[in-house]
Amino acid sequence: MSTSQAAAAGVAVVTGASRGVGRGVAEALGAAGMTVFVTGRSTTDGASRIGDTPLHGTIHDAAAAVTAAGGQGIAVHCDHGDDAQVKALFERIEREQGRLDILVNNALCIDDSLIDPGPFWTKPLAQADMFGVGLRSNYVAAWYAAPLLLQAGRALVAFTSSYGAGCYMHGPAYGAQKAGCDKMAADMAVDFEGTGVAAVSLWLGVQRTERTEIAARLRGDAYGDFMARSESPQFVGRVIHALWRDPDRAALTVRTQIVAELAQRYGVRDEDGREPPTWRNILGAPCAFHPARVS
């Protein structure tokens, strides 16, 4: 597919896409023919680690995977904790593409201690960095992206969130970050009302990523059960693409959505033909936010 054909199929940004969820989502959008700007800090394979175990993947690898899938992958080194770099990212998109169809807010600063047992005060204060890259960074990216999304006329801001927004999962910093994503998406949806731009926060199931596979090996216990019914990041990306194409997507912004349930709506299955389950009966359901304005 040529660059012009990929642009015609839509333009997307996936933040924090060097590996894991972001990379898989970007690859799925590429498979749908989109031009995908892949952002992150990783440019050297194995530079990031969990303990003594290296994590593989770079923005360049991810962009190449997008292109190999059928789209046009563009790697952009961007520290989402640096507003100037985020501004430069969207200025580049404006120059090169003139619009933006999908923004996937996925970047998150994860400390290695995230899944360690124990109360929050026994873990590093660095867990609070999720409020910077993970919550504030989502706001900044959407702020700079908004003019380009409005130019597209039919656009989507998707936040990758978690059941941890509603139940106890990985401690208070993680839970508050995810709950903040849900409320931020709902309020942005109110501001975007009538513009053709939708904003939705998505609860992902357990993801089949290198990070979660390492966690399963280290922890065993319940992780093994969850991993047996996990989702691939590409599955999440296909659901996001289907949501963007849905003419009634704005109606889904009243509440946070569960990816597995949206997949049933759109007839999306995972790579192996499975239908990943919803965990609402075990981990809880998203709340609906009231769209009334008080200002």
pLDDT per residue over 114-164, tens digit each?
888 899 999 999 999 999 999 999 999 999 999 999 999 999 999 999 999
Whether 268 shows a pLDDT value over 80: the answer reads: yes
Question: Is position 139 annotated as part of the catalytic site?
Answer: no
Kindly report the pTM of this predicted structure.
0.92
Contacts of 152 (CB under 8 A, 6+ apart): 11, 99, 100, 101, 196, 197
Q: Is 170 helix (H, G, I), strand (E, B) or coil?
A: coil
Three-state DSSP string of 211-269: HHHHHHHHHCHHHHHHHCCCECHHHHHHHHHHHHHCCCHHHHHHECEEHHHHHHHHCCC
DSSP string, 69-100: HTSEEEEEE--TT-HHHHHHHHHHHHHHTS--
Q: Which two tokens stand for residue 75?
A: 């790697």
Residue 158 bridge partners (DSSP):
104, 200
Beta strands 48-50 and 53-55, pairing class: antiparallel
* pLDDT value, residue 229: 80
The answer to whether 73 touches 26, Cβ cutoff 8 Å, is: yes
Cα–Cα distance, 286 to 274 (Å, whole number): 23
* Residue 62 pLDDT class (50, 70, 90 cuts): very high
Whether 223 shows a pLDDT value over 80: the answer reads: no
Contacts of 143 (CB under 8 A, 6+ apart): none
Least confident among 212-221, 242-251, 278-287: 212-221
* pLDDT value, residue 195: 97
* pLDDT value, residue 177: 98
139, 163, 168, 174: which is the annotated catalytic residue? 174
Q: Which two tokens stand for residue 223?
A: 């992780």
* pLDDT value, residue 114: 87
48 or 194, greater pLDDT: 194
Cα–Cα distance, 159 to 194 (Å, whole number): 20
The string of pLDDT tens digits covering residues 68-81 is 999 999 999 999 99
Cα–Cα distance, 246 to 225 (Å, whole number): 33
Block residue for tokens 């997507």: 249
Residue 42 bridge partners (DSSP):
none
150 or 221, greater pLDDT: 150
Whether 222 shows a pLDDT value over 70: the answer reads: no
192 or 211, greater pLDDT: 192
Q: Is 10 helix (H, G, I), strand (E, B) or coil?
A: coil
Q: How many residues does the chain have?
A: 295
Exposed/middle/buried for residue 255 (C-beta within 10 Å: 0-12, 13-18, 19+):
middle
